[in-house]
Amino acid sequence: MYKERNPDDDKEDREDFVHFAKNCFENFGDRVKFWITINEPNTYADLGYIQGKYPPARCSKPFGNCYAGNSDVEPLIAMHNMLLAHAKAVKLYREQFQAISRPLKRICY
């Protein structure tokens, strides 16, 4: 179910991402050659929080015509949370799956 949220409150999202990554490592680790945690986070922050063209479509003038958002602050918060989620997923991989799987690649920009 979709709920309107404040982008500052993303601890739950980070934990959900780590849970998702763990499920992927467990279920697909024997078949995946290269892991990428988050693909093009800069595009997500730009189009979702600066320009407001993609979900969650939060922006402010003069960058876009959204109903809510702050294009000066929210993209930084989103990038910060994506980097933290990436770091937690990498830590999990290195501690529990690296010995039995293939190398983990980095964030792709």
Q: What is the pLDDT of residues 2-43, one digit of tens each?
A: 455 555 567 888 899 999 999 999 999 888 878 888 888 899
> Does residue 85 sit within a domain?
yes
Whole-structure pTM value: 0.80
Intra-chain end-to-end CA distance of the chain, in Å: 30
CB hemisphere CA count around 59 (13 angstroms): 19
In a domain, 6, yes or no: no
Is-contact 25 93, C-beta < 8 A? yes
Residues above pLDDT 90, as percent of the chain: 41
Q: Is residue 5 part of a domain?
A: no
Give domain status of residue 76, yes or no. yes
Domain count, the chain: 1
Q: Would you place residue 105 in the very low, low, confident or very high pLDDT band (cuts 50, 70, 90)?
A: low
Q: Tokens 């078949």 label which residue?
A: 31
**Is 87 contained in some domain?**
yes
The reply to whether 3 falls in a domain is: no
- As a 3-state breakdown, the chain gives helix, strand, coil percent values, each rounded to 5, of 50, 5, 45
Range of the domain at 55: 11-100
Tokens of 11: 């601890």
Flag whether 107 is in a domain: no
Cα gap 14→83, rounded to integer Å: 9
pLDDT value of residue 99:
79
Question: Residue 26 is inside which H or E element, if any?
Answer: helix 11-28
